[in-house]
Amino acid sequence: MKRLIPVLLVVLLLSLVGCTAGGGGGNDLLSDIEGRGVVRVSTDPNYEPQSFLDENGEFVGFDIDVAREIGERLGVEVEFITPDWDVITAGNWAGQWDMSVGSMTVTTARQEVLDFAEPAYYFTPAQFAAADGSGIDALEDVNNQAVCAGVSTTYETWLNGAAADLGLPETSFYADPPTGITVIPLATDAECPQSIQAGRQEFQVFLSSNTVVQAAIDGGLPIHRVGSPVFSENLAVAFDKGAELDNASAVQRVGEIIQAMHDDGTLRELSLKWFDSDLSASPTQ
């Protein structure tokens, strides 16, 4: 027994080390985040004004501020990760990040692989824009054009005539997709106006969020809006359905935080800060 007791103590100590080595706690995502003291958030470094890198290489933008506010209310630090958009929307993140705060639209297709915290944290209209001098000035002018859109975005889906796959209510659609078009997908829709500025000739018109269009115009890019918005989207925080750790409590807690941010005016203030308008209220309200 004298030799057995030290052995048992060693086994106990090793067990405790094993439990804490990962920095998390429990078998659910929320406990794991709280245990390690860090929430890992996927976002886009080239999606101004939602999320982008400033002159010092620091993440800034509306989504960045929202993510940091969520982290603060969870009592943890925020670490930003920048996987490709199509990788984020595909699900099966293999635990590389915990949640997406990246202006992701809630769709029925995405709900098959992702869980979304409710309510939405903001709403945005989809807007066509074209190069100045292109002759594309009205929605009917977009017909038979090459149109740029971000790959795996709701804009690409809608342009391809699969509006039903978006899972949006009928009242969210204000126009039909243009006819006879060729869709040119880029890594993100923010690259569409940047490519026009760089002199790319494959397309002269693109579809993106109104906020991306406004940011490009404010940045001096030679583009203009084409017609009025064609549909609007609900943007929400996303979680991986296929995660090894149960995410139900994390989805619920973040949903409660988002609701509190609506109630106390935080989302409205951030929207006015980054968009110069309040996008935190549903267009149907």
| Domain boundary assignment for the chain | 25-122+235-275, 124-233
Distance of CA 278 to CAs 19, 66, 110, 271, Å?
Answer: 45, 14, 26, 5
Strands annotated E in the chain:
38-42, 46-47, 51-53, 59-60, 77-81, 99-105, 114-116, 122-131, 146-150, 182-186, 205-209, 223-240
Backbone angles phi, psi at 97, to 5 degrees: -150, 165
User: Fold identical between 25-122+235-275 and 124-233?
Assistant: yes
pLDDT class of 10 with cuts at 50, 70, 90 = very low
pLDDT of residue 25: 58
Do residues 161 and 270 touch, judged by C-beta distance below 8 A? no
Token pair listed for 103: 């202006």
pLDDT class of 15 with cuts at 50, 70, 90 = very low
pLDDT class of 172 with cuts at 50, 70, 90 = confident
Q: What is the dotted CATH code of the domain comprising 124-233?
A: 3.40.190.10
Token pair listed for 39: 């929430």
Half-sphere exposure of residue 237: CA atoms within 13 angstroms, side-chain side: 30
Compute the mean pLDDT over every residue in the chain, rounded to the nearest whole number. 90
Length of the chain: 285
> CATH top-level class for 25-122+235-275?
alpha beta
**What is the pLDDT averaged over residues 79-87?**
96
